[in-house]
A and B are shown apart, each in its own frame.
Chain A
Amino acid sequence: MHKLLERQLRRTVGADEAAWPPGLRALVDLVDQAYASHEDDRALIERSLELSSLELSAKNDALARARDEAESANRSKSSFLANMSHEMRTPLNAIIGYSELLIEEADQLQPEEFAPELEKIRTAGRHLLNLINDVLDLSKIEAGRMDVTIETVDVRRCVDAVVTLLAGAASQRRNELVFQCDLNVLTVQADAGKLRQALVNLVGNAVKFTQEGRITIAARRARVADGASAGVARWAERDPDAPCVAIDVRDNGIGIPAEVQPRLFAPFSQADSSTSRRFGGTGLGLSLSRRFLHMMDGDITLVSAAGQGSTFTIWLHESDTTWVGGAVSPVAAAVVPPRSEDRA
C-alpha cells in the first residue's frame, strides 16, 4: 500500500484493518493499482525523454561536425582564392608591366628590340592560360564532372610521346632523359590523355628541378601489394597478388625535404613560396595528377630527401591483355594520340 494513503487511513479509520468499513479494502486496492500504473507510465515517459535527449545530443554532435566541416571547407576555399589571386597577379604583373614599358619606350626602340619583351609577355600569358586550365580541371573534378575513359594503354608509346615532348626542355638544362622498360609490351588500364598529362607533369617537374643531371623513367611490372606498401592507401584492401604497373620518374635534382612532403599534393603547396617564381608551374600540377590517378583507381607515391633527388611513382592496374604470356599483339593496345597542348 502507498505510504501516504496508509498513514491517512490509520489516522482517520484506525490501524485495525478488520474494523474498516466494508468495501474500503477493495477501494484501497484500486487506488494502489492506479498508483502502480501511474508509476509505470512515469517510468515510460522518463525513458522516452531520456532517449529523445540522447537522440537530440547525437543530432547536435552531427550538426556540429557538419558545421566544422563546412567552416573548414570555407576556409580552404578562401585560401584557395587568395592563392589564385596571387598566382594570377604574378604573370599579370609581367604582362601589364612589359606592355606599359614597351609603350613608354616605343619611340626609342628599334623594331627588333620589341621581340624579347614581347616574348616575356607571351610566356606570362601562356602561364596564365595553363593556370586557368588547371583550375578549371580541378573544379570539374570537385564537381564530379570530370569523365575518365578507362582503356588499354600502351605504356611504351605513352612514355615515348612524353619523352619526345620534353626532350628539348631537358637538354636546355643539360639533363639526360632516359626511358627504361625491360618488357616489350606493357599495358595499363588508364585514361590515355590523363595518364599522359600526369606523366608530362612529373617528368616536367623532374626536368625543372634538376640541372646537369639525369631523369629516368622506368616502367616495371609489379603486384598490388608492392603499391600498397609504397603508400597506395586505396589498394590496402585489394587482392595483393593482382598485377599492376609502376612507372618511376626518378631525378637526381634538388630533392624534397621530408617536412613538406605530406602537403606536396595539396593545391598551391610548392615546397617553397619562392619556388614557383624560380621554377614556374601553376602549383596545381601534382594535385591534379594525383586526382587523375585516383580516377583510374591508381595513385602517385613519392620517395625523396633534400639534396638527394626524387622518385615519383605512378601506380596503375595492369591491363589483362598483357597477362597472356606477355606476348600480345600491339593491336590490342589502343593508344590515344598525344594531345597537342602542353600543361606541365
Chain B
Amino acid sequence: MTQIVLVEDNEMNRDMLTRRLIRRGYTVVCAHDGLEALTVVAREQPEVVLMDMGLPVLDGWEATRRLKADPATAQIPIIALTAHALSTDRDAALAAGCNDYETKPIDMERLVERIEALRTPRA
C-alpha cells in the first residue's frame, strides 16, 4: 500500500525525490498538479502527502484546503515542500491546512524525520 503521495510538477524534482524516498523503503505514488492530487490522494489514502505549493491547474494551497475540507482525506497529514522560504510563506502553508513545512533545497534527513513524526502506519 502507498505510504507517500508526492505532488510535484517539476520532472527533475519529482524523479529525484521519488528515488530517494524509495531508497529509504517508502512506497511512493506521484501527482503532477493540484487537481490530480485530489483524486490520487483520495484513491491512495496515503500515510502522508508531500505537497509542492507552486503547482499548475490548482496550486498547493488550494489543493491542501480542499483535501482538508473533504472528510475522506481531512485526516491525512500534509507536508508543504516549497522554495518559498520566508516565515510568511510558512504561515501561509500552515494556514492552508498543512501539518508541517519543509523548504527546498530539501534536507533529506530532516524531511524523513518530519514524515516519521506525522505518518500513521495503517495495518
Contact = CB atoms under 8 A, between A and B. Distances in A.
A86 B20 contact: no
A324 B49 CA distance: 70
A273 B55 CA distance: 8
Interface in A93-122: 93-98, 100-101, 104-105, 120
A273 B16 contact: no
A82 B55 contact: no
Interface centre among A92, A94, A97, A273 (most CB of B within 10 A): A97
A52 to B, nearest CB: 45
Contact of A101 (B16, B55, B59): B16
Given A89-B104, A92-B105, A277-B10, A97 B84 contact: no
Given A97-B105, A100-B20, A105-B23, A277 B9 contact: yes
B14 to A, nearest CB: 11
Interface in B7-60: 9-10, 12-13, 16-17, 19-20, 23, 54-56, 59
B83 interface: yes
Contact of A89 (B9, B55, B83): B83
A90 interface: yes
Contact of A97 (B9, B16, B23, B56): B16
A90 B104 contact: yes
Interface residues of A, number: 24
B83 A273 contact: no
B104 A93 contact: yes
Contacts of A97: 13, 16-17, 20, 105-106
What interface size band does chain B fall in? Answer: 20 to 34
B73 interface: no
A274 interface: yes
Interface of A: 82, 85-87, 89-90, 92-98, 100-101, 104-105, 120, 124, 272-274, 277-278
B99 interface: no
B69 to A, nearest CB: 23
Nearest to A274: B56
B105 A96 contact: yes
A89 B85 contact: yes
B23 A82 contact: no
30 contacts: A82-B84, A85-B84, A85-B85, A86-B83, A86-B84, A87-B83, A89-B83, A89-B103, A90-B83, A92-B104, A92-B105, A93-B13, A93-B106, A96-B105, A96-B106, A97-B13, A97-B17, A97-B20, A98-B12, A98-B16, A100-B20, A100-B108, A101-B19, A120-B12, A274-B9, A274-B54, A274-B55, A277-B10, A277-B54, A278-B9
A96 B104 CA distance: 10
Interface in B69-89: 83-86
Top 5 A-B residue pairs of the complex, sorted by shortest distance between their CB atoms: A89-B83, A93-B104, A93-B105, A96-B105, A274-B56
Nearest to A81: B86
A96 B20 CA distance: 12
B108 to A, nearest CB: 6
Contacts of A89: 83, 85, 103-105
Contacts of B59: 273
Nearest to A92: B105
A181 B15 CA distance: 45
Contacts of B9: 274, 277-278
A120 B13 CA distance: 11
Contacts of B83: 85-87, 89-90, 93
A82 B54 CA distance: 15
Contacts of A82: 84, 86
Nearest to B19: A101
A283 to B, nearest CB: 13
Nearest to B88: A82
Given A85-B86, A89-B83, A97-B17, 8 more contacts: A89-B103, A90-B10, A90-B83, A93-B106, A94-B13, A272-B56, A274-B54, A278-B9
